[in-house]
A and B are shown apart, each in its own frame.
Chain A
């Protein structure tokens, strides 16, 4: 089974098409990364999959059923989406925020239950945020904040998690921390992870499956080793690179050329 199957899908906003005639699948139980240059529509595609915007044409199936056939809370129990920028209301603590993850399980008559409590504790434990539970979200560092928002998505206990650039604005150690977390979620909990990343190197290291977008459609898809080569980098990013092998993990590693001669003499400093 695939998590998503797209058939001739048209995606865009305000009647402006961004991606056209998309036909591809996103595999179940894998880490899939959407790649592409700025403005290629990868975030728009991700948010469309997350039911944040309407499809302009074609059909999207989620777990073999049309995406728009799900009721809102039903979909939220099956997939969680973490936007790129999140702002918690002032005065909200970590635990209060993560508890919102149980919203799809609550109805007017069934409020906070023991199951909800357990899911929140698990989410806090998995993201290593138990000790932060009473801290205000607004007082957290960038990396902590990101872990807390992931905990919110985990509390949803959905099988699929979509994330829009979860490592933006983080320094390298926190980028690794977040991506390790995604890896553990996938390998230990069997979650399907679909994310937009723009660090190509880390995308190649963590992705099982890459879908690269260019020119309004899927340019290439497959495992990182099948997808990333010199031609790919030239066509998708307009960048001349040498592709070598990551000495640690054997995944593709791109070393870009600069556009200028860097060995020119610098002007004398005064």
Chain B
């Protein structure tokens, strides 16, 4: 069935899903927000519903849409470049590296948006470089996954111990670290938004190059591609996108793993659609998971990080066990 429908129709369907999910996201939560409240957006009414919308629902919806798309895109880039179906920003320790760096700068008293973001970028890069060096011998899929997973564990334990010792100073960061789209400032969103758009457009611009790379390094080189340059650009973009995602929403797991696989299932070899689809599916996934987290234990909220860890963990196990070929190459 999935072959009968044209890729662009599926893309449009995904694009249509975004405002629908956003509308649901604005309505769902402890404080009741009605249809008329959503329609009254922008007016300076100071009802309880309007406060909930402006201070909570709108920021978290925007953050979920943005973070989902950058993580989905970053995950696909990592999977393409490393040829590792288990690669994603969280499994390759990039998210954990960014988180640790953010906790460190907060510990030393920096709390500006700029320091927050640059810490995330630096941490993500360092983690990426370490995983690359650890798995450089042949680029074996197994080595890379293990190196990434163990480095991620190491980084998170550093992060945890810093928090254990400096609990008071890091109150703010604590909530952020659980991976949540709620309680984020719109200031950070508006600062990062243009950069996210630029980075995402860059990914779409090198779509043809990435597609050619999927034939293997040797064939891509024989076809006249500067394989090293393309890989470097792709990984850099993936690290930057992941760092933005972490800076906004904390270390959110599994979106970067799940979205590209769903996109592959939906779009097959329609490559450009697969790229765009990964981003859109990332948004759909993260926003749906956030809405689900608000409903599942109503009136209490489960953070989106926890929801995704449960769904994504199961999916990861499925990937490893069902696709037995994964570890053989």
Give the B-binding residues of A (Cβ under 8 A): 47, 50-52, 71-77, 79-83, 86-93, 96-97, 100-101, 103-104, 106, 108, 111, 152-153, 156
Contact = CB atoms under 8 A, between A and B. Distances in A.
A96 B271 CA distance: 11
B268 A91 contact: yes
Contact of B224 (A72, A90, A93, A111): A72
B214 A80 contact: no
Given A89-B269, A91-B268, A91-B269, A100 B222 contact: no
Contacts, number: 64
Interface in B208-228: 208, 212, 214-216, 218-219, 221-226
5 contacts: A72-B224, A77-B224, A81-B221, A89-B214, A91-B269
Contacts of A73: 224
Indicate the size class of the contact surface on chain B. Answer: 10 to 19
In this complex, the member of B212, B222, B268, B269 whose beta carbon has the largest number of chain A beta carbons within 10 angstroms is B222
A72 B212 CA distance: 14
A52 B212 contact: no
A92 B224 contact: no
A251 B223 CA distance: 35
A72 B214 contact: no
A80 B215 contact: no
Contacts of A104: 223-224
Given A89-B214, A100-B212, A156 B219 contact: no
A57 to B, nearest CB: 21
A80 B208 contact: no
A30 B135 CA distance: 42
Interface string B293-319: 000000000000000000000000000
B223 A83 contact: no
A53 to B, nearest CB: 10
Contact of B216 (A74, A86, A96, A106): A86
Interface in B248-272: 268-269
Contacts of A75: 224
Contacts of B223: 76, 100-101, 103-104, 156
Given A72-B224, A79-B222, A103-B224, 9 more contacts: A47-B218, A52-B221, A71-B224, A76-B222, A83-B216, A86-B216, A100-B212, A103-B225, A153-B222
A104 B218 CA distance: 14
Contact of B221 (A51, A71, A106): A51
Nearest to A111: B208
B327 to A, nearest CB: 16
B67 to A, nearest CB: 28
Nearest to B218: A83
A95 to B, nearest CB: 11
Contacts of A74: 224
Q: 8 smallest A-B Cβ distances: which pairs? A: A76-B224, A73-B224, A81-B222, A104-B224, A83-B218, A103-B223, A72-B224, A91-B268
Contact of B218 (A52, A93, A156): A52
B35 to A, nearest CB: 43
Contacts of B226: 72
Contacts of B221: 50-52, 72, 81
Contacts of B216: 83, 86-87
A50 B222 contact: yes
A78 to B, nearest CB: 10
Contacts of A51: 221
Given A52-B221, A73-B224, A103-B224, A96 B269 contact: yes
B323 to A, nearest CB: 11
A97 B211 CA distance: 11
Contacts of B268: 91
B225 A72 contact: yes
A67 B157 CA distance: 50
Contact of B215 (A47, A72, A88, A156): A88
A106 B212 CA distance: 12
Contact of A80 (B205, B222, B269): B222
Nearest to A92: B269
A225 B222 CA distance: 33
Nearest to A84: B218
B277 to A, nearest CB: 14
Contacts of A50: 221-222
Nearest to B215: A100
B286 to A, nearest CB: 26
A153 B222 CA distance: 9
A89 B222 contact: no
A88 B215 CA distance: 6
